[in-house]
Amino acid sequence: MGQLHRDNIRNIVIVAHVDHGKTSLVDAMLKQSKIFRDNQQVGQFIMDSNALEREKGITILAKNTAVIYRGTKINIIDTPGHADFSGEVERVVKMADGCLLLVDSIEGPMPQTKFVLRQALAKGLKPIVVINKTDRGNSRIDEVVRVTQDLFLELATSADQLDFPVLYASAKDGIAVTEPGAEGKDLVPLFECILQQVPPPVIEEGPLQMLVCSLDYDSYRGKIAICRIYRGKVAPHDRVVVIDRDNNITEHEVGQVFTYLGLNRLQVEEAKAGDIVAITGLNKVSIGETIANWEQPEVLPGIEISEPTVKMTLGVNTSPFAGLEGRFCTSRQLRERLHRELETNVALQADDTDSADVFLIAGRGELHLAILIETMRRDGYEFQVSKPEAITRVLDGKLQEPVEGLTIDTTEDNIGFLMEILSKRQAQLTNMHNDGQGNVRMEFRIPTRGLIGFTSAFITATRGEAVMNTLILGYEPWYGEITPDRDGALVAAANGVAVTYGLNHAQGRGITFIEPGTHVYEGMIVGLNSRAQDTAVNVCKEKKRTNVRSSTADIAIKLTPAVKLSLEQALDFIKDDELVEVTPKSLRLRKKLLTQVERLKARHAA
């Protein structure tokens, strides 16, 4: 069977470190390809379409779009740059033939730049480097290009990958040029470069073969499989088979077939090899499976997804307030929701445990799991989760744990303190670079275990003036004990409603997390003690009423405002014997054992 090219198609994936401007570049490409009506309001970060993405200002899910440039259709996949969502990149690189590697003109290549470039080069994608944010000044451009070249030397799998074009862009202004410092007016040089450099899809003639790379849902159409067609063609109502990972074959009928254009999916009568399509009607299909001609079912290589590194339990809420705020609270509802998530969230794992009410979830990092938790609570679910833990394994009888490369960019005055807190977390300094102007980049190897709970300590220690990035390096022998450095908790001693008087008393011992009027239960964590042990406090205690009205007694007590922990901070905060209770309305922290007697008994037994 011969090979053909489809000259009028290009498939590209956009990859970069977090915040280097991928979604902004897609915005500009969409706007300049004139797929919107002139008066259509489309806004910014168009591809970051889900609410959490918009709130957090980051991309979480990889997404497809397409533009037409000079008669050629360019299918574009925007990907997340945050390391916790790198499973998304692994899932979609197979749809593309070329990649745009964005590099921030000031920051230069960062840990995740390396990770995503390795993925792209390993799949044989043709790279184009785009040095972005050149509007921020181009003093470092030469150096950034040089460092990027070094990265290619390290990662390239073939000599021709080293011969890559470099463009200089401002995604924000919608400009790209081929020479640094040149005056530009639009993205034409980028579009031209894509047409010239990225090979059109090579396709084989023969019966249908396509790989499912994404799944989507539509309340009206049901499950939608997003696939790259490698061979043959597909039309509505075609008879096809789905071949799963274990080579089981099931027969199906295709519903409708769509291709991409801008933000829309266009219903088509036929789609051919080389294109990216969305197919309805296949309700039993999963990511990584092959859809093939029913008479000649031949499987395609699947999608390799790296293993999760962090786990926690997610279970039915067992607090005294259980069921008061959530719509879906039962074990069955939680299990169904988790299983639905597994279909699209490819780097996630969810397993049953010995207890029917508790599940074990595992993902690529704390944020990966936190986003799932936040999404579930917004969908009306109520549950409780435990502290995130690194996933260890035993190899040849030896305990191993995941280890990450940690890069910190900060100023000289933070070095001492950071070294101190990091050494307690078993981090090893591997490199330190001072630019001579007081800016330092420090690189460490640190067990994932040591990174859990590190973010908040890091932000406090550096007053937000430093940036940290991590990259999974792999499994290594156990690094040694890490003793938790958090102080004890202030734990509510009784059920009731917190009042100013009681909270003021608690503030004498530490920081409080709740406002007066908050309902509390015995065992709920209401603050952070200034000492190592937990202390029970009665935040519901009212001032004793006396008959004598003294002139000072009525002066209102001024409480320090409560410290409100976000979900990520709460997960960072809790220890092994504590839980976060998550409902659509509240986040509460609690001891696993609610009464003081139970906790005392447990301590004695230990």
Q: Could you list the residues that contact ligand GTP (CB under 6 A)?
A: 16, 18-24, 45, 58-59, 80-82, 132-133, 135-136, 170-172
Q: Which does 445 bind (CB under 5 to 8 A by kind): ligand GTP, Mg ion, none?
A: none
What does the radius of gyration of the chain's CA atoms come to, in whole angstroms?
27
Output the CA angle 458-462-465, nearest 5 degrees: 115
Q: Which does 172 bind (CB under 5 to 8 A by kind): Mg ion, ligand GTP, none?
A: ligand GTP
When the beta carbons of 370 and 537 are compared against ligand GTP, the nearer one is 370
When the beta carbons of 26 and 224 are compared against Mg ion, the nearer one is 26
Residue of 210, 237, 392 whose CA lies nearest to 301: 210
* Cβ-Cβ contacts under 8 Å for 272 (sequence gap 6 or more): 6, 203, 229, 232, 233
CB of 136 to ligand GTP, least distance (A): 5
Q: Is 86 in the site for Mg ion (CB under 5 A)?
A: no
Distance CA 208, CA 425 (A): 53
CB of 15 to ligand GTP, least distance (A): 9
Distance CA 40, CA 368 (A): 34
Residue of 10, 73, 78 whose CA lies nearest to 45: 78
When the beta carbons of 176 and 277 are compared against ligand GTP, the nearer one is 176
Q: Is 24 in the site for Mg ion (CB under 5 A)?
A: no
Distance CA 326, CA 292 (A): 43
Q: Is 59 in the site for Mg ion (CB under 5 A)?
A: yes
Are the CB atoms for 385 and 373 separated by under 8 Å? yes
- Tokens representing residue 18 in the block: 């977090």
CB of 97 to ligand GTP, least distance (A): 21
Are the CB atoms for 95 and 11 separated by under 8 Å? yes
CB of 525 to ligand GTP, least distance (A): 32
Q: Is 265 in the site for Mg ion (CB under 5 A)?
A: no
Burial 170-189 (b: 16+ CB within 10 A, else e): bbbbbbbbeebeeebeebeb
Q: Is 23 in the site for Mg ion (CB under 5 A)?
A: yes
Q: Which does 352 bind (CB under 5 to 8 A by kind): ligand GTP, Mg ion, none?
A: none
When the beta carbons of 23 and 280 are compared against Mg ion, the nearer one is 23
Letters for 335-354 (x = contact with Mg ion by CB under 5 A, - = none) are --------------------
Q: Is 290 in the site for Mg ion (CB under 5 A)?
A: no
Are the CB atoms for 312 and 361 separated by under 8 Å? yes
Which residue's Cβ lies closest to ligand GTP? 81
CB of 16 to ligand GTP, least distance (A): 5
Distance CA 582, CA 376 (A): 9
When the beta carbons of 130 and 273 are compared against ligand GTP, the nearer one is 130
Q: Which does 19 bind (CB under 5 to 8 A by kind): ligand GTP, Mg ion, none?
A: ligand GTP
When the beta carbons of 255 and 262 are compared against ligand GTP, the nearer one is 262
Are the CB atoms for 165 and 198 separated by under 8 Å? no
| Amino acid found at 159 | A
Q: Is 132 in the site for Mg ion (CB under 5 A)?
A: no
CB of 110 to ligand GTP, least distance (A): 11
- By rule CB under 5 A, what count of residues binds Mg ion? 3
CB of 83 to Mg ion, least distance (A): 14
When the beta carbons of 137 and 477 are compared against ligand GTP, the nearer one is 137
Beta bridge partners of 434: 440
CB of 126 to ligand GTP, least distance (A): 20
CB of 176 to ligand GTP, least distance (A): 10
CB of 117 to Mg ion, least distance (A): 17
Find the helix or strand (DSSP H, E) in which 423 lies.
Answer: helix 415-424
When the beta carbons of 52 and 322 are compared against ligand GTP, the nearer one is 52
CB of 59 to ligand GTP, least distance (A): 3
CB of 80 to Mg ion, least distance (A): 6
Distance CA 533, CA 493 (A): 15
When the beta carbons of 22 and 599 are compared against Mg ion, the nearer one is 22
Distances (CA, A) of 454 to 303, 434, 459, 561: 32, 23, 9, 24
- Tokens representing residue 420 in the block: 């101190």
Are the CB atoms for 415 and 408 separated by under 8 Å? no
Q: Is 22 in the site for Mg ion (CB under 5 A)?
A: yes
Q: Which does 132 bind (CB under 5 to 8 A by kind): Mg ion, ligand GTP, none?
A: ligand GTP
When the beta carbons of 23 and 319 are compared against Mg ion, the nearer one is 23
Output the CA angle 32-33-35, nearest 5 degrees: 110
- Distance spanning both ends of the chain, measured CA to CA: 69
Which stretch in 18-26, 201-209, 378-386, 598-606 sits in contact with Mg ion by CB under 5 A? 18-26
When the beta carbons of 214 and 313 are compared against ligand GTP, the nearer one is 214
When the beta carbons of 77 and 166 are compared against Mg ion, the nearer one is 77
Distances (CA, A) of 176 to 25, 65, 91, 100, 133: 10, 20, 28, 13, 10
Half-sphere exposure of 296 (CA within 13 A, CB side): 7
Q: DSSP 3-state assignment of 371?
A: helix
Q: Is 368 in the site for Mg ion (CB under 5 A)?
A: no
The binding site for Mg ion (CB under 5 A) comprises 22-23, 59
